[in-house]
Structure 1
Amino acid sequence: MQMSTELFATLVASVEASSDRALSNNDAPRWIRKLSEEDAILMSQADVRDVCIVTRHLRALLLQHEGKRFLTVSGLDADDDLPEGFEALELTPSFLALAVSQLKLAPRASPIEIFDTIESSFAGEDGYEGHELEDIAKLFPSVSVFKLNEDADSSGSIWRSVGVLLSKFYGQGPIELSGEALNGLKELYEAGSNHVPFRNIVQGHLAITWSGLFLELYRAIEQLYSVPKLVKLTDIWASPKSFYELAELLESQLGWRPKEEDALRELIESCDASLLEMLANELCPDAENKSQAVAKAIYKQRNSLVHFRSAMPEQCYSNEQWNNRICLMIKLVSQLYERHGNNYMLPRAQ
């Protein structure tokens, strides 16, 4: 009932903030007509696992209830061709109330439309049993509800789940991502290491420029830069702490951090030879020392995007070239976290 009260309080506040209309009964209790006892229980007992405000319009809510996981999303146009592990559900009063409350959804309808919908119906009026769901739902941004496959790795992470949907329904996104790039992102969201910083990947996925996506993928790799040196250090000086903790201590207490280009080269050397070959063919086809040349090329591109100096001009690439580079960066992120994610994030066994 509290969430239903919050929903109608949001509508009342929208009318009160306008000079167009004035409710004569703004304090009167209102609610959405009860669908079922099961739905009412979901509203009161569902465990809110996570909330993410991805953009101003794209927002998501991850719920757990009676052993089932649900993803509620606002601001994403999805059709019936859903990715594997997603089952579309009908919007119910509980899912709408939870979405409005947890995602802080503001009404999209005008104050006049809201006034016309709620003014004459309220508790105490003869025959009032609540507003119809469709009448209230249309006053807010669209909300989609999905039941997730609990066995899927992505179902436990709101950012991974949102990423899977973005990969499927990118549509008229701001950059011209190829089918291969979108499939690569989808595979990363679905099957990548749990330690990949998926929030960064989603932010890059929604970037309005190629450089935004490239830099978020680079940042994901950058987090692992201390790994090669920490592997050597802990071989002779064991520590139960995760590499993440050790890297933080070394930088905060001693002011040490790895040299980026050298660290990138060492990480690349830990990858499969086939991936190194693909990177070299795209970035530095004539190089003799491929790992060094690939690291230099990636780091140079990073610098040209981060810095704004005449000595570091940003290079212009075609959509095809950008897609090739993005696909390779996705593969690099995936493989590096598969190899080093556990060591970096988890405490080490003694």
Structure 2
Amino acid sequence: MASNSRNKRKIFSELFDLLRSYVNEEVDYELHPTLYPNTSAGADLFIETSEEVDFQFDVDHEFHSIFKYEGELYYCFTGNDLDLSRINRDIFEPVIGDFFDALFVLVHSQYIKNCLHTVSRTDIYDTILHVGDNEDPNRAKPIDIEDLLGCFSIVKAYKICSGSVYDVENLDKVKGYFSVKSSINILPFNDSTRASFSTLFDCSYKAIPFDIVHLAFITNSYKQCFTELYRCIEQLFPVPTLQGLIGTGKLSVLCPLEIAEIFEDNIGWRPRETEAIEAVFKELEQSLLDRLNSVTADTNYAGFSHHKFIYRLRNQNVHFRKSLGVGSLSNYKWEELIGIMLDIIYKLYEKYDSKIISS
């Protein structure tokens, strides 16, 4: 649990100040100077002592965060009109009641700093900030947390069920799951491709760069999607060679310069990317390689080896040199390739994950 507790009074004071500033632009009446929320003791304790694991602003939903409280992880985000019907409630349990109130307050007070534009300033004044005929403005006025909820952007909150593959402090992994389930992608992925994305997010391999996989899912370009997935494979380039070096005993030499030379000669793979791809592809199932052959058939890449095709297409979309040409495929071929890349990534990390991340 966080060692530096938050000050609940200060958090709510900032929220109310934000509402006053927002209402002042339109309502020319006395605004109540002292307010306090009638949140429960349970919500107050969550607000003051929960640990912020991670937070991110993003393009799909406005904001994402993970909080930890009493050993449990909580995922929350802002965003309207999302189809969350396919969220597995055995993995992500919707948060209601006191803990939801606490998460709502934490999101808006610490990060969003924004009033909901669909709520009028006069409504906020009438509901929260007015001074009633029988009210003393010098005494704190209690505010129902339910009234406060309507003044800010909608927050969705879920408890991550203990023991699931998502019970890890990895915001990108959780975001990826919700993005796939709520169908926020721009590219028209078919069910098979979506299932391959889901398989990656659902797996327990810790070395997968889930932020890159998520970026591949939400991008609006097949070329960009392919390039991001290439980066997931690129991360593995030094691994086969390093495994070989560890097994040979060469690293037992005492001179640091000799070790540096060995690393440079063997792991400094640039400009030997095609060989690096070939090394990580070496033990892939033949069925995956056959699927790559089906992509290159009837294209300018027909006859290319698997690793040379992938590297050539990557270069054509990363570098701008006339000699490389333009890397293009039909939309059907692009989606076919992306599905294969996702399955290749799964198989490669199945093989190498334990070599990269110690358990």
Fold similarity call, TM over 0.5: yes
- Return the offset for 1:99: 1.4
After TM superposition, list the pairs within 5 Å mapping 1:35-184 onto structure 2: 36-55=40-59, 57-75=61-79, 77-83=82-88, 84-90=90-96, 92-109=100-117, 112=121, 114-120=124-130, 125=137, 130-156=142-168, 157-171=170-184, 173-184=185-196
Match of 1:165, SS state, is helix
- Return the offset for 1:124: 5.7
Match of 2:200, SS state, is helix
Q: TM-score, normalised by structure 2?
A: 0.79
Aligned AA for 2:71? G
- Return the offset for 1:24: 4.8
Match of 1:130, SS state, is strand
Deviation digits for residues 4-53 of structure 1, max 9, x if unmatched?
63355245346537754568558x3434322x332222222222222222
- Return the offset for 1:61: 1.5
1:9 and 2:14 are equivalent in the alignment: yes
Q: 1:243: which partner in 2? A: none
CA contact (8 A) 2:180 2:198 kept: yes
Change (3 A) 1:201 1:66: same
After TM superposition, list the pairs within 5 Å mapping 1:217-232 onto structure 2: 217-232=229-244
Q: 1:32: which partner in 2? A: 37
- Could you tell which deviates more after superposition, 96-105 or 256-265? 96-105
Q: Distance in 2 between matches of 1:148 and 1:137?
A: 23
CA contact (8 A) 1:163 1:189 kept: yes
Deviation digits for residues 152-194 of structure 1, max 9, x if unmatched?
12221221111111111115x3211111111111111111411
CA contact (8 A) 2:91 2:166 kept: no
Q: Which has the larger radius of gyration?
A: 2
Aligned AA for 2:221? T
Q: Distance in 1 between matches of 2:35 and 2:201?
A: 41
Match of 1:52, SS state, is strand
Change (3 A) 1:30 1:250: farther
Change (3 A) 1:255 1:42: same
Deviation digits for residues 199-226 of structure 1, max 9, x if unmatched?
1111222212122221111111111111
Q: Distance in 2 between matches of 1:39 and 1:78?
A: 28
Q: Distance in 1 between matches of 2:329 and 2:15?
A: 47
Match of 2:236, SS state, is coil
Runs of 5+ unmatched residues, structure 1: 241-245
Deviation digits for residues 84-122 of structure 1, max 9, x if unmatched?
511222263211111113443522337835555442269
Q: Distance in 1 between matches of 2:235 and 2:213?
A: 13
Q: 1:260: which partner in 2? A: 273
Match of 2:73, SS state, is strand
CA contact (8 A) 2:44 2:102 kept: yes
Deviation digits for residues 51-89 of structure 1, max 9, x if unmatched?
222338432111222232211111262433323511222
Q: Distance in 1 between matches of 2:181 and 2:153?
A: 21
Match of 2:116, SS state, is coil
Q: Distance in 2 between matches of 1:124 and 1:257?
A: 74
Q: TM-score, normalised by structure 1?
A: 0.81
After TM superposition, list the pairs within 5 Å mapping 1:239-278 onto structure 2: 250=263, 256-258=268-270, 259-278=272-291
CA contact (8 A) 2:34 2:138 kept: no
Change (3 A) 1:239 1:5: farther
After TM superposition, list the pairs within 5 Å mapping 1:246-325 onto structure 2: 250=263, 256-258=268-270, 259-283=272-296, 293-325=305-337
CA contact (8 A) 2:35 2:140 kept: no
Match of 1:145, SS state, is strand
CA contact (8 A) 2:165 2:202 kept: yes
Q: Distance in 1 between matches of 2:25 and 2:60?
A: 26
Q: Distance in 1 between matches of 2:29 and 2:351?
A: 61
Aligned AA for 1:120? H
CA contact (8 A) 1:16 1:22 kept: no
Match of 2:166, SS state, is helix
- Return the offset for 1:3: 4.6
The percent identity for this pair of structures is 19
Change (3 A) 1:211 1:47: same
- Return the offset for 1:138: 2.4
Q: Distance in 2 between matches of 1:135 and 1:155?
A: 33
State the superposition RMSD in angstroms: 3.5
Match of 2:159, SS state, is strand
